[in-house]
Structures are given as C-alpha cells and as structure tokens.
Structure 1
Amino acid sequence: MKKNLINVLLFLLVFAVFTGCKKDEYEMIKIVKMISVQQMRALPVGMTKATPAKKTGKIYIYNNYLFINEPNEGIHIYNNANPGAPVNMGFLQIPGNVDLAIHNNILYADNFIDLLAFDISNMNNIKQVKRVTDVFNQFYLPGAQKYLYTYKDTLVKKQTYKGVINDLAYSNNSSSGQGGSMARFTLMNDYLYAVGINNLSLFDVKTASNPTFLKAISLGWGVETIFPYENKLFIGTNSGMHIFSTTDPANPVKLSTYSHIFACDPVVVQGKYAYVTLRTGNMCRQATNQLEVVDIEDPTKPKQIAVYPMQNPHGLSTSGNNLFLCEGNYGIKSFNITDKTKIGDNMLQHLNNIKSFDVIAGPKSLIVTGEDGVYQFNYNNAANLKQLSIIKGQR
C-alpha cells in the first residue's frame, strides 16, 4: 500500500506541474490534496449566505431559478424570474460538486464519490434528504480506495513556481429542469443518468427524495457529456457519440456509436439531427475545431452530413431554426440551421467580446457561461442578441 501511495503522489506531482495555465505575470497551477473518505464525508454541506462565484461551471434552470455550479465548491442559487435582474439567494455548499439535476423539487448533486439529494420545495429552507454512497469512482486514488484526491486552482508568480506540491494533506414549470450541453447529469422517465469518465450510472428517482442506485454501465474511457432527447440518450466522448435507447428506462441499450477523431465532444439533438462540436483543448490536442451535423433518423446508423470549421467550439444549444454555439475565447455565435448543408454560410451574429463555455436557450433568456460570469440575452431575434444582465464572478 505504501508503494502504491508513493506512486500516486508522483503522478499527482506531474499532474500539478503540467496543467498550469499562463496568465500574464502569473500562472495557474493545481494544488493537489488527498483526503480520506471519512474526512470527505465530515466536510460541511448545506446552505450558506449568498456570495459571488469565483469560477463558474455547469448551469441549470428549474422553474424561475438559475443554478450555477462553482466547480468543487457547490451551487449558487438565483431567483431568475426577471432575467434582467437575477437575485442571488444563497450558496449550497457541496465539496467536490461539479454536476446537478432537479426532479420534482429534489436537487441531485455529486459530492466527490457520493450522490446527495436536497429538498428545494422551500427555497428558504433547503434540506439534505439523502446521501447515496460510493457511486462515483473518478475521485478514488488508484490502489488506495480509502483515499480520494481533490485540488484547488492557485495563482502563483511565474518566477517563483518550481513545480512543487506544497499543500498535500492526508486527511419551464416541469417536474425536471434543463441543463447545458456540458452536463454529466440528466433526467428521463423518473430515472437519473450520470456519466463518469468511463461509465453510465443509473438511479431510480420515482420517489424523488429517495434516489436508489441501480447499476453502472461501462462505456470505455473518455466520457464527457450526456444529452437526453425523446427516448434516447446521446453520450459524448472524446472519440465519438454513443446513442442509447431508454425504451426500458431501467435498462438502457446501446444502439450505435458515431466515431470521430480524438476530440472534446459536447452534443445536442433536435429532430432527426445531432450537432456535435469538436475542439482542441487540454486533453484534446490531436483534434480539429469544427461543428459536425449527424443524421440520426436511424439511430442504429448515424451518418455525418456536414462539417463546418470553427475556432474553438465548446457548448451549444438549439431553439427552433437557430443554433447558438460557444467559441471559448472567441465569443459566441448564432446560426440559422434550416438548411443543414449551409449552416456555415448562415451565421447570424458573432459576439466576440465574451469568453463563452456553455449555453442554454431557456424559456425566458439565452443563458451563457463566460470567463467573466454568466450572461443572459433576449434572443427573440437570433441575429441581434440583446444583453439583459450579467452575474459577475468574484476574481
């Protein structure tokens, strides 16, 4: 065991050294921590006072509320009845949290290796109602199942950084909401589906406050996103898109895999077409930057019908005949997608002053996560997006 732990620590040291992001006079490094499962479950969980997010992650809308994940910290909750003036209601502290989904007033969130369920029927008195243990394995240290790893981003001056880990410690009124294209959690037919880096986990949520883990289905390495449409799940991986039938929602069946080059891969679906973005990135260095349109009328035989070059596409969302596509540091674009073979010729608008990550075309506004915070736009005219508000992060 001791030898395994030493090997793990060496791996984490390399992880910290090679995942830095340069920023002017500083660079971002990941300070890795190791904690025991017992220590993890003793960390505080629950509502605290409203505070701005230091970094924005996944977004989710449910009725008149907007939920903004702060990676590994928890969820900021906003009353978004008026998208022009969202009100910060509080922060749901959940260490190790990255994803969320909501069903019948129960919020599901990952807490490292566990799934937590919260009753949000009274937003002024949110309560944890269940913990499902040991259902997500991506945080487990190899060869050390009693320990987990986590990290925090830390800015250091370039000239002082020597690559040393110095903080290592052993210690729309519906029953469900709407997530973005980067989501790893989704709901369908009273079941919660969650993808990890190599599997699909399935939970029965017929009794929303009592989620029950059923099983995990192996998918192979590199799983990134999940998108529900009608009675199917579309799972994006860095080598392709899996299509699963949920005709029997308790037993998803793989229908096919649409393969592509190694790339980061969110996917959304509308009608008989899937829209897939491929981009270069930290884990996707062999990729190109493009939008692919895939005919899925026969889900057992998906076929590519068009490819369009992009700058660095991330999340995307559709609404009617329009597609909204995040271009990372290059802004956000809107397209008319009536003619699938001419999308590249039908760009409606390009806002290049927003560093965008993911987008939801919601019932009241277009919600965009950016480096500076979360933007909301009136998108009645996709060729003339009008900013309604911005929820600024705390930098």
Structure 2
Amino acid sequence: MKKNLTNALLLIFAMAIFTQCKKNNTDEFETIQIAKMVSADQMRALSVGITKPTIAKTTGKIYLYNDFLFINEPNKGIHIYNNTNPSAPINLAFLQIPGNVDLSVRNNILYADSYVDLLAFDISNINAIKQVKRVQDVFPQFYFFTQGNIKSVVIYKDTLVNKTTYRTQFYDTFYSNSSTGSSGTSGQGGSMARFTLLNDYLYTVGTSDLSLFDVKAASNPTFVKAINLGWGAETIFPYDNKLFIGTNRGMHIFSATDPANPVKLSTYSHIVACDPVVVQGRYAYVTLRTGNTCAQGMNQLEVVDIEDPTSPKQVAVYAMQNPHGLSVNGNNLFLCEGNFGIKTFNITDKTKIGNNMLQYLKNIKSFDVIAGPKSLIVTGDDGVYQFSYSNPAMLRRLSMIRTTNNNFFN
C-alpha cells in the first residue's frame, strides 16, 4: 500500500504536460515531466545557473524588479526579460533552477527555492548572474520518505511519450492507486506569491509554516525559524508592517513590527476555498474559489475591513465565476477569473463593487496579475500579457510573451 501511495504521488507530480507533436498519421507524442525520486545530494548536483534565453513552456509566478520582469517556469527556473518598454519586452536569459516555484528580489539579490533549499543569486550584472548562497533543508515539506525512512526529493525529467497510451495508463493507474491509499529596494510579486520581503526579512509560506530568513546582509540569507500556521497555507502579502497570509480556511494577520518575531493578531475565517489576498488602506480583498484542491468552497470576492487588525470584519461579498489572483491600484481592482477571463472593477464604494465592473475580457485565461508602474501584467494559459491600464475601463494590450504550453490536462 505504501508503494502504491508513493506511485500515486509521483503520478500527481507528472501531470504537467507541455508540448505535443504528430509522429505519424496514427500516433501523437508529447513531452511530459516524469517524476523520479533522488537523494538530496543528487538533487544538489543538478545544474544551476544562467543559460541562453529560451521560450517558456508554461508560466508560474511573476515578479517585477526595476525594469526586469521575472517569469517562473515551474520546476525549471526563471526567464528574465528587460521590460523597460512593456510593448516590446526583451528575452535576456534563463536562470536554470531545478525545483523552483517562487522568487523575490532585494538589493540585486534574487532569492529562489530549489526543492528543499533556498538559493541566493547576485543579479547586479544581469549578464553574469552568480549564485552566492545555498541554505539547505529549509523547506522540508518537499521531502518524501522512502523505504528505510530515507529522505528523497522528487525531480522531473522531460520525456517523450505516446499521448493516447500515456493518458490511458495515467488515469487507470492514478485512480486505482489514489482510491486505495489513505525594507531596502525590493520588487513586486503577484497575489499568488509564497515569498515576500519586508523589513530586512524574507518570509516564505509552505503548506503549514511561515519561515523567516534574515536578509540584512542581502547576499547572505540566514534561516531564523519557522512558525506553524496549521495546514493549508497558500499565499502571503505584506502591507504596513503586517503579513497577510491566505490559507484555504481563512486569512491570518501577523504583525511584523518586530520582524524577527511576527505575532499573530487574528484570523478571518471562511469556508474551505483557495484563498489569495491583497491589501490597500484599511481593506483586504480576498478571492475564494473552487478547484482541484478547493472543492468545498465558493466562487466569490470578499471585502474585509482591517482597520482593527485584531478584529477583521466582512464588509461585502460578491459572487464570481472562478476567481484566482488579483491586484489593487488606486480605486481599481483587477481580478483574474481563471478560464473565464479577467475583470476590472471600480472599488471606490466597497459596498457596490459588484455593480461597478468597468471591463470584462473573456478571451484570456488568467491566473495572476500585477498592477505595475508601467503596465498591468497578467499570466494567462498561453503566456504573459501586458496591458496599458491608464484607462481601467479600456485596457489596451501592449505585448504578449507566448509559451509553448499545450497541456490537455488543463
């Protein structure tokens, strides 16, 4: 049974299918990421560092720092673009980081996860990026325990498979096994971020922990401690010396006045649902959605008064279709609706946001959004879009960075 459960977990990790092509008239082949168990030492021997620019197969987290746009390709690394002109972003390089999902940048030091480790890179010369630190074993939730209680890491290898055969075998095996198993210069991330920087500290959230890293010496991050949050932590957003942590059961508010010792002030609770959060002024905006891991929830936007962070109060609730990431800029809220598009709202009157939709673009599958200083950046199913949002009621597309994603599991 233990072996079956392990196989099921590996198959879950193998669900990311990126490209497909026809081999002949009867067979279709595609490149998938097959999961493999390796030791931590083997994982750390994998190649890390700057390579020539490539086109992303799929996109994950996005991050803005000065005039650079960083686009994570899940488990592969980070694509780096010169975004001085959002109408014509220039693909500069690819920073290969096996197992990478999140990132943050402070004082020209880029912090990124690599499976169970935290890596730090000096990006002061974007053409000669150098790794300056590896902090080991700080994300232990990504370890798997195999026979003999040996710690292993799941890595991914691109493999060409027959589409029809693999799909049939995947579903037969997966369902069979799963049913029997039991303050410096920083950048700007999206609402889906698990990394954030505040007051000389890097804060990261895992599935159940808030981890702290002292980055006063930016190139020498030091692990401080982990704080248990309970299961289901998903996102983190910094605002006004506070940390707002979205979980699948609610929003935690921590005071970071003493940055080395965050103190929990309150929890705003809701039913089980995936939960990113952004904050502006005295209000937090929370999206709840149903999905593969959030099946019990509802699809809605909630507005929460956090003037007293020890006692957050719900102001309003608005029905949505399948809300994902969101971003606030001035009196405008930009909300990703997953496969249903992206919406813009005027939020001047918090009790009438649902009546004040300014625009609805239905032809973009959107996941996360950043209202940056030069453009509105949206991660979509087929790439990264940039819009001018000087008129939030009439977004004007500036550019699109396409991916080669043809994932039929989406």
The answer to whether TM tops 0.5 is yes
Structure 2 unmatched ranges of 5 or more:
21-27, 175-183, 406-410
Between the aligned partners of 2:275 and 2:188, the Cα distance in structure 1 is 19
Cα pair distance change 1:119/1:308, threshold 3 Å:
same
Which of 230, 243, 247 pairs up with 2:253? Answer: 243
Between the aligned partners of 1:235 and 1:35, the Cα distance in structure 2 is 32
SS in 2 for 1:263: coil
Task: Tell me the TM-score normalized by structure 2.
Answer: 0.88
Between the aligned partners of 2:116 and 2:347, the Cα distance in structure 1 is 40
Between the aligned partners of 1:153 and 1:350, the Cα distance in structure 2 is 37
SS in 2 for 1:338: coil
Between the aligned partners of 2:145 and 2:350, the Cα distance in structure 1 is 45
Cα pair distance change 1:326/1:8, threshold 3 Å:
same
Which of 356, 361, 364 pairs up with 2:371? Answer: 361
Between the aligned partners of 1:150 and 1:306, the Cα distance in structure 2 is 43
More displaced, 61-70 or 8-17?
8-17
SS in 2 for 1:343: helix
Partner deviation per Cα, 1:56-95 (whole Å, 9 max, x = no partner): 0000000000000000000000000000000000000000
CA contact (8 A) 1:366 1:376 kept: yes
Between the aligned partners of 1:45 and 1:10, the Cα distance in structure 2 is 28
Between the aligned partners of 1:145 and 1:349, the Cα distance in structure 2 is 53
Superposed, 1:157-306 pairs within 5 Å as: 157-158=163-164, 161-163=168-170, 164=173, 175-306=185-316
Between the aligned partners of 2:385 and 2:102, the Cα distance in structure 1 is 19
Give the corresponding residue for 2:25. Answer: none
CA contact (8 A) 2:145 2:151 kept: no
Between the aligned partners of 2:202 and 2:267, the Cα distance in structure 1 is 22
Give the corresponding residue for 1:126. Answer: 129
Which of 6, 9, 12 pairs up with 1:9? Answer: 6
- Structure 1 counterpart of 2:199, one-letter code: N
CA contact (8 A) 1:325 1:359 kept: yes
Task: Give the aligned length.
Answer: 383
| Residue 137 of structure 1, CA deviation | 1.5
Partner deviation per Cα, 1:111-138 (whole Å, 9 max, x = no partner): 1000000000011110000000000012
CA contact (8 A) 1:8 1:142 kept: no
Between the aligned partners of 2:321 and 2:30, the Cα distance in structure 1 is 24
1:375 counterpart = 2:385: yes
- Structure 1 counterpart of 2:122, one-letter code: D
Between the aligned partners of 2:390 and 2:248, the Cα distance in structure 1 is 33
Between the aligned partners of 2:353 and 2:252, the Cα distance in structure 1 is 24
Which of 101, 112, 115 pairs up with 1:112? Answer: 115
Q: Percent identity?
A: 72
1:147 counterpart = 2:159: no
Task: Tell me the TM-score normalized by structure 1.
Answer: 0.92
Structure 1 unmatched ranges of 5 or more:
166-173
SS in 2 for 1:138: helix
| Residue 303 of structure 1, CA deviation | 1.1
Partner deviation per Cα, 1:97-122 (whole Å, 9 max, x = no partner): 00000000000000100000000001
Partner deviation per Cα, 1:228-272 (whole Å, 9 max, x = no partner): 001100000001100000010000000001111110100000000
Which of 345, 349, 358 pairs up with 2:359? Answer: 349
